[in-house]
Amino acid sequence: MKMNKAEYEFLSLLGKYFEDYLPISVNASKNTIQSYKCAFRLFFQFLNEEAEIDTGRITFEMLNFDLMTDFFDWLITVRKNSRTTAKQRMGALSSFSEYAQNRNLEAGLVFRNSLTKIYKKSFKRVKGKKRHAFTRQELEILFSLPDTTEKIGWRNLVIMVVMYASGARAQEICDLTVKDVAHDNNGNAVLTLIGKGDKPRRVKITADATELLNKYIAYRKLGEQPDRHVFSSQRSEQMSVAGLEEIFEKYEGVAKKAHPNKFRAGRYTPHVMRHTTATHLIEAGVALPVVKNILGHSSIQSTQVYVEISQQTIDQSVKRWNEKWFNEDGINEELLPKMQSSLPEFLQ
């Protein structure tokens, strides 16, 4: 069946949006483009499965308030997206609606107005999730969970340790190749990470993390294959962000079941490990500009938020310390021999 003009216009503009506007006019990062594509893949899935609309027959006039409201309700109730994630999906569609309206005011008006109304009704007050971090004891527990006698468990431990040692984003870890791992004069690994906006930065990791990473690369026999990705999945040569999320979700469940009094701050996604690195660096007295460069932030304001997180962590630690070590009679002497930490050197 031949497309009519309205149907052709939607798909034509969407194609130009992803092929020309985002990568060339906006110079959006590949991660941003992938995120926006994901939002539209979900939207098309909703249209096919729930609204029973052939994605090849979409017109701007179809994208009214009721349809778009149903889509975001579907994201939250069926896909189990948080409201923050649903808001991010809306941002992707809103960006395209603005692009479309600027090129055809009449055609894009319904779509644009629908998204604007939904934002005002449902998302205006949605704020970003409160940041939280692993405590050092929680990290010790987390790193003890993978079964390193198995190939997958060995990989998972190396991923989590390298993420903590480098403060890398999930996508940066997925993109890490063998040639991105160099070594300084002391033998410490220096990782070249490609961040937002395709901006590279170099991050040196500790000796313990370096040893673990070197052994893993040797174990996989990747030393002579510079373009290979360091971390792969069972189905692909390159690990995906979704794969990393599954790893953290798996060990989060095990940890919470085994230690119900810990891991109580919320969901522990891969990004929480990055928050943890930032928090622990600041607690250790590392200057904000240095932390900014390690994390690859474009602005010191982005790094500043971790000062507050760190203070919260300190306050909680002091409270737990007082409850554990002191009582009405003074210091609990029976606990003194247990003060020595069993954490590896790079966590101290």
Beta 189-194 vs 200-204: how paired, if at all?
antiparallel
The whole-chain average pLDDT of the chain stands at 80
* Residue 331 confidence (pLDDT): 43
Query: From edge to edge, which strands make up the β-sheet containing 189-194?
Result: 181-183, 189-194, 200-204
Decide if 51 contacts 76 (C-beta within 8 A). Answer: no
pLDDT of residue 333: 45
**What letter does residue 177 receive in the DSSP assignment?**
B
pLDDT at 273 over 60: yes
Least confident of 144-158, 168-182, 191-205: 191-205
Q: Which residue has the higher pLDDT, 108 or 312?
A: 108
The pLDDT, as a whole number, for residue 314 is: 47
**CA atoms within 13 Å, Cβ hemisphere of 176:** 30
Other Cβ atoms within 10 Å of 186 Cβ, number: 8
Residue 318 class from Cβ within 10 Å (0-12 exposed, 13-18 middle, 19+ buried)?
Answer: exposed
Contact 276, 270 (CB under 8 A): no
Residue 342 has pLDDT above 60, yes or no: no
Which helix H or strand E contains 203, and what residues bound it?
A: strand 200-204
Res. 337 pLDDT band, cuts 50 70 90: very low
35 Cβ contact partners less than 8 Å away, ≥ 6 residues apart: 88, 92
Q: Which region among 97-106, 115-124, 153-162, 223-232 has the lowest average model confidence (pLDDT)?
A: 115-124
Going by C-alpha positions, the residue among 184, 186, 188 that lies closest to residue 208 is 188
User: Each residue of 80-89: pLDDT tens digit?
Assistant: 887 778 888 8
In this prediction, residue 105 has a pLDDT band, given cuts at 50, 70 and 90, of low
Global pTM value: 0.57
CA distances, 291 to each of 47, 223, 302, 311 (Å): 44, 30, 10, 16
Q: Residue 220 burial by CB count (10 A; 0-12/13-18/19+): exposed, middle or buried? A: middle
Planar angle of CA 24, 103, 49, nearest 5 degrees: 85
